Chain A
């Protein structure tokens, strides 16, 4: 599929990506560009491989064929040391938050700083408090992950993700299971952090309204392929029946209500005769 974005401005370039887990094909030749300084949303139904895409971009998993480039470097060909070097330029917000449960909020945010810098503890403290202030949780620094709500845990994870001032942040289903207030806070944070810190953001989500509300560019993925892509307005007015069913949450359409199987009558009569 031809892409319309300016290729020189892309931080991440995915080309002809093929990926399968066992016999289950996840991607069959997708092309995706992530432009610098923008929020790019990857949307699609559950189980379509959105999180897999983030793991492929971050080099946690390797594609069977095709390429994933980050700032001109081919992810699959990097040694572990170089890959880890590259990951210091990325942050990732996991769906679960992925906070270290034996560390406090403060220590979780300080963790990457202590691992990768030789900053004095006083300076680390200042940075941690600044990051926690940015997500509104400076006052919760003494709490442990088990004491946080789902929304708070994601905000702490966000503070940790920006601790090393990365160039790009990947958000994996940031709105899943959030109450309206937490969702509003996260939406505002994602947009504000992207603009104020000059980040590049990838938001993986199936929350249509929220994601179209903050994204600059959207890819809609289904069945291993990019179904459509464009600005949020382009997606809202997409001519694809599948996209229309997806964004309007219709129960039936190109994606059938019933999972494929034998005819209903055959099943019932077959059971009776058996």
Chain B
């Protein structure tokens, strides 16, 4: 086959996969209302994808906040604007790093776990077994995990932002270590961060990222070839595709939300 033919076939294959994932998403969304009758399934999954991701998010938030304060302080000190450190850290974290870094961590921790779990359930006939018991695996397995990701991501992002800006991260390095005035640090944050623009940004972006990551993860797991290699590839694909899709979505959302 010629190179042009190969490119055509590959593009066609990608489009087909995209269409299949869109149909899959529609089936998941259609199954969501039935979760009202089984709230326990959702709560279990929020624990699994949310609470169990908490540690990595908290630790990452602290480190990111510290690094931002350190590097920001050096740059601001050159202009005698150390007191703007709070503003600098808060805007970078709230507008960009919070949702993006949390999303990347979530894709690595929860997304890969979701894909592996569903892929292994398929490989061990658990999904087929459910179908044979007249139980739709999309309703019983996929939908609760998808909604849990959608709910957990904004909460995790909020926690990440608090840890990065607050006492453990940026505040500790800026105020306690580098000697920036504490009230100037907080006042800077208070005067620069707007609720309807910046705080809403956290929830909108992280909600979209949560949907993208869990969509990719459950799709990859559900359609993974039922072999150890297939599950392994699904897990890798989840992290790679979800991370890239998240970065692309971030560009689009930032362009829309912060354009004049």
A58 in contact with B135 (CB, 8 Å)? no
Query: Which chain B residues lie closer than 8 Å to A116 at the CB level?
Result: 133-134
A98 CB within 8 Å of chain B:
yes
Interface size, A (range): 20 to 34
B132 in contact with A91 (CB, 8 Å)? yes
Instruction: State which of A85, A87, A97 has its C-beta within 8 Å of the C-beta of B133.
Output: A87
B126 in contact with A101 (CB, 8 Å)? yes
B131 CB within 8 Å of chain A:
yes
A88 in contact with B129 (CB, 8 Å)? no
B124 CB within 8 Å of chain A:
yes
Report B118-146 CB contacts with A as 1/0, cut-off 8 Å: 00000011101111111110001000000
A98 — nearest CB in chain B belongs to which residue? B129
Docked pose: A100 CA to B132 CA in angstroms: 13
Instruction: State which of A87, A90, A94 has its C-beta within 8 Å of the C-beta of B125.
Output: A94
A115 in contact with B129 (CB, 8 Å)? no
Query: Which chain B residues lie closer than 8 Å to A224 at the CB level?
Result: none
Query: Which chain B residues lie closer than 8 Å to A97 at the CB level?
Result: 125
B135 — nearest CB in chain A belongs to which residue? A115
B125 — nearest CB in chain A belongs to which residue? A98
Query: Which chain A residues lie closer than 8 Å to B133 at the CB level?
Result: 87, 111-112, 115-116, 160, 164
B124 in contact with A85 (CB, 8 Å)? no
A98 in contact with B128 (CB, 8 Å)? yes
B127 — nearest CB in chain A belongs to which residue? A98
B132 in contact with A60 (CB, 8 Å)? yes
Docked pose: A270 CA to B124 CA in angstroms: 44
Instruction: State which of A85, A87, A115 has its C-beta within 8 Å of the C-beta of B131.
Output: A87
Docked pose: A115 CA to B139 CA in angstroms: 11
Count how many pairs of residues, one from A and one from B, have CB atoms less than 8 Å apart in the complex. Answer: 53
Report B44-74 CB contacts with A as 1/0, cut-off 8 Å: 0000000000000000000000000000000
CB distance from A204 to the nearest CB of B (A): 14
CB distance from A131 to the nearest CB of B (A): 14
Q: Please judge, given known A-B contacts A94-B125, A98-B125, A101-B126, whether A85 and B134 are in contact too, CB under 8 Å.
A: yes
Report B139-165 CB contacts with A as 1/0, cut-off 8 Å: 010000000000000000000000000
Query: Which chain B residues lie closer than 8 Å to A92 at the CB level?
Result: 129, 132
Q: Which of A80, A88, A92, A95 counts the most B-chain CB atoms under 10 A from its CB?
A: A92
Report B77-120 CB contacts with A as 1/0, cut-off 8 Å: 00000000000000000000000000000000000000000000
CB distance from B28 to the nearest CB of A (A): 15
Query: Which chain B residues lie closer than 8 Å to A88 at the CB level?
Result: 134
A96 CB within 8 Å of chain B:
yes
A98 in contact with B134 (CB, 8 Å)? no
A84 in contact with B136 (CB, 8 Å)? yes
CB distance from B23 to the nearest CB of A (A): 14
Query: Which chain A residues lie closer than 8 Å to B126 at the CB level?
Result: 98-101
A60 in contact with B128 (CB, 8 Å)? yes
Query: Which chain B residues lie closer than 8 Å to A101 at the CB level?
Result: 124, 126
CB distance from B9 to the nearest CB of A (A): 16
Q: Please judge, given known A-B contacts A92-B129, A98-B129, whether A84 and B134 are in contact too, CB under 8 Å.
A: yes
Instruction: State which of B125, B128, B135, B136 has its C-beta within 8 Å of the C-beta of A112.
Output: B135
A115 — nearest CB in chain B belongs to which residue? B135
Report A146-172 CB contacts with B as 1/0, cut-off 8 Å: 000000000001001000100000000
Docked pose: A209 CA to B19 CA in angstroms: 49
CB distance from A68 to the nearest CB of B (A): 15
Report A198-221 CB contacts with B as 1/0, cut-off 8 Å: 000000000000000000000000
Query: Which chain B residues lie closer than 8 Å to A95 at the CB level?
Result: 125
B124 — nearest CB in chain A belongs to which residue? A96
Q: Can you name 6 A-B pairs with beta carbons within 8 Å?
A: A80-B136, A98-B128, A98-B129, A112-B135, A116-B134, A164-B133
A96-B124, A160-B133 known, 9 other contacts, Cβ within 8 Å:
A58-B132, A60-B131, A84-B135, A94-B129, A98-B125, A98-B126, A112-B134, A112-B135, A115-B133
Interface residues of B (CB under 8 A from A): 124-126, 128-136, 140
